[in-house]
Amino acid sequence: MLARHQDPIAAIATAPGRGAVGIVRVSGRGLAPFVQGLLGRSLQPRQAHYLPFPDAAGRSIDQGLALFFPAPHSYTGEDVLELQAHGGPVVLQLLLARCLEAAQAVLPRLRLAEPGEFTERAFLNDKLDLAQAEAIADLIDASTEAAARSAGRSLSGAFSQEIHGLRDALVHLRMLVEATLDFPEEEIDFLRKADARGQLSNLQQTLAAVMQRASQGALLREGIKVVIAGQPNAGKSSLLNALAGAELAIVTPIAGTTRDKVQQTIQIEGVPLHIIDTAGLRESADEVERIGIARAWDEITQADAVLFLHDLTRLDAPEYIAADALIASTLVQKLSESVPVIDVWNKTDAAARPAPAATAGRAAVQLSARTGQGLDALRRELLRVAGWQSAAEGVYIARARHIEALRAVDAHLMEAAAQLESTGPALDLLAEELRLAQNALNAITGEFTSDDLLGVIFSSFCIGK
């Protein structure tokens, strides 16, 4: 534990601005003398006391509730004092300043908390693990109901329990391998009699299920970036407005109306989709429009999925067909094969004939952005390409680092399985792969985590949490 973790800390624990109630929180070891000096009396543990909060001269700053939580039965695992006052910014700043002033005599090292430091101490004092600590921030930041519920499941320990189950099975398998290494003279084949292959296979199957649920949780947290691309007047802005259910982008018959990106986040079955409307793709002599087109290609190359919008009313125009073909070939050059492109044939309400046959390997949807016909089919297709399977209750929130760690575990278990299946397996290499897999699992819950990673994680929290 670093030296700064020994300092008592204080902060305003509620959001900036005016509110009915605001909280000032103090955490540290041995806060009882500080509480006495600050409030002029002691407090019964875990009981709310309504009393005045005096300044240094004994005048009341405010009246409110004071609660004292002695260690280890507190959020941080240390002594914690909470002052619940009226939620005016000036009142809370006065209370915080008074806490720092009153501490000079009995708690001289009291300082302002850094972002996420209360939760960091909860983690360091084993009140919660790292995955649960991250779930607190994810619960606060949740943009959809499904994301909030999934974050709540992670905070309750559902994800951590899955990781601990995997780890326990992995430790048991490691024990068998290490026993074989330590006692090579024994005739008993520990691995064969203990069905090491079967244990490893079961471990891989369980890991696959955990990875699937974690991937769904990561999707709920992050969403995907979807870029609408196509020629001018294909209906890109109309499609954005239709998906968002609001007039976000200006729609006119004039080609080149959209000069810069317009972005809106929508949700489908709780999955956030960051939809971006871009400038129409064409050759242009207008300098401003050329900049907009360049930005459009920048957005396209960073997309998780692309909606390639076609105008069904112009399928008989040779110049339109040629321009679409040029855009299609450029998409192939600029996009990774892993980025799905959905052909969206717009203006079915005004088209004289149906869309042409779907391009091999690409999904296609016909719709009318003006009437809304076909929008549900597009929403379903977006969920499919995003990888969303269902809004099952078992999904828990997860982060990119969790997914990376689980993939590392999977890779190490595959190497371990290859060693077991080989003739005359190298047990020392098998043991090393299992050890590396366990380390990757431990990194998720924080049992094996660098201080640098902790700094990155908790710095993203708000101050006071």
Please give the structure tokens belonging to residue 60. 């009341």
Question: Rounded distance, CA 405 to CA 2, Å?
Answer: 26
Strand bridging mode 19-28 / 79-87? antiparallel
Q: Which DSSP state fits 40? A: S
Say how many C-beta atoms besides its own lie within 10 A of residue 335's C-beta: 16
| 8 assigned binding-site residue | no
| 254 assigned binding-site residue | yes
| 265 assigned binding-site residue | no
| 284 assigned binding-site residue | no
Say how many C-beta atoms besides its own lie within 10 A of residue 273's C-beta: 21
| 371 assigned binding-site residue | no
| 235 assigned binding-site residue | yes
Alpha-carbon radius of gyration of the chain: 29
| 41 assigned binding-site residue | no
| 279 assigned binding-site residue | yes
| 369 assigned binding-site residue | yes
| 202 assigned binding-site residue | no
| 256 assigned binding-site residue | yes
Q: Dihedral (C-alpha) 420, 421, 426, 432: value to the nearest 10 degrees?
A: -40
| 408 assigned binding-site residue | no
Task: Say if CB 229 and CB 278 are below 8 A apart.
Answer: yes
Which amino acid belongs to residue 444?
A: I
Question: Rounded distance, CA 272 to CA 270, Å?
Answer: 6
| 234 assigned binding-site residue | yes
| 233 assigned binding-site residue | yes
Does the bond joining 89 to the residue before it have cis omega, within 30 degrees of 0? Answer: no
| 422 assigned binding-site residue | no
| 340 assigned binding-site residue | no
| 370 assigned binding-site residue | yes
Instruction: List, as one string, the DSSP characters of 140-195.
Output: HH--SHHHHHHHHHHHTTHHHHHHHHHHHHHHHHHHHHHHHHH-TT--S-HHHHTT
| 259 assigned binding-site residue | no
Task: Say if CB 324 and CB 302 are below 8 A apart.
Answer: no
| 347 assigned binding-site residue | no
Give me the sheet containing 19-28, strands edge to edge. 49-54, 60-69, 79-87, 19-28, 9-12, 111-112
Give me the sheet containing 271-277, strands edge to edge. 262-268, 271-277, 224-230, 305-311, 341-346, 363-366
| 238 assigned binding-site residue | yes
Question: Rounded distance, CA 388 to CA 398, Å?
Answer: 14
Question: Rounded distance, CA 127 to CA 446, Å?
Answer: 12
**Nearest partner of 74 among 118, 35, 38, judged by Cα:** 118
Binding-site positions for GTP: 233-238, 252-258, 277-280, 368-370
Binding-site positions for Mg(2+): 237, 258
Binding-site positions for (6S)-5-formyl-5,6,7,8-tetrahydrofolate: 25, 82, 127, 465
Binding-site positions: 25, 82, 127, 233-238, 252-258, 277-280, 368-370, 465
Binding-site positions for K(+): 233, 252, 254, 257
